Amino acid sequence: TQLLEQSPQFLSIQEGENLTVYCNSSSVFSSLQWYRQEPGEGPVLLVTVVTGGEVKKLKRLTFQFGDARKDSSLHITAAQPGDTGLYLCAGPTGFQKLVFGTGTRLLVSP
């Protein structure tokens, strides 16, 4: 069974601070996805990283896929209250299925 562990589990910061969320596995994945889930809603895809070592930027969010394709990170620069939510990494396991990480709950206070 492929598992994805995320850290930290919970993060509470002030507006303007930087943060990094980690997603680790002992298994190799062909790609990894990051989703954000806001309260009362379902997860929404932010990005997919495909190539080992790949870095993708989405405004203030920077996503990196590890060289060995076993881990990924999400870095947020100058966090804003609108970044508050649950961040989930996910990896494909066949037949369009995904295995999801344990999640990181982010709270950004004004």
Give CA separation, 108 vs 1, 13, 75, in Å.
Answer: 34, 5, 14
Q: Least distance (Å) from another protein to the CB of residue 34?
A: 12
Among 63, 103, 106, 108, binds another protein (CB under 8 A): 103
Please, which of residues 59-88 interact with another protein by CB under 8 A?
Answer: 88
Half-sphere exposure of 99 (CA within 13 A, CB side): 18
Amino acid at 57: K
Half-sphere exposure of 105 (CA within 13 A, CB side): 3
Q: Which is nearer to another protein, 40 or 110 (CB)?
A: 40
Q: Least distance (Å) from another protein to the CB of residue 64?
A: 18
Q: Please state, in angstroms and rounded to a whole number, the distance separating the CA atoms of residues 55 and 42.
A: 26
Q: Count residues binding another protein (CB under 8 A).
A: 23
Asked whether position 100 contacts another protein by CB under 8 A, the answer is yes
Question: Which residues of this protein are in contact with another protein, per CB under 8 A?
Answer: 4, 6, 9, 31, 33, 40-45, 48, 88, 92, 95-103
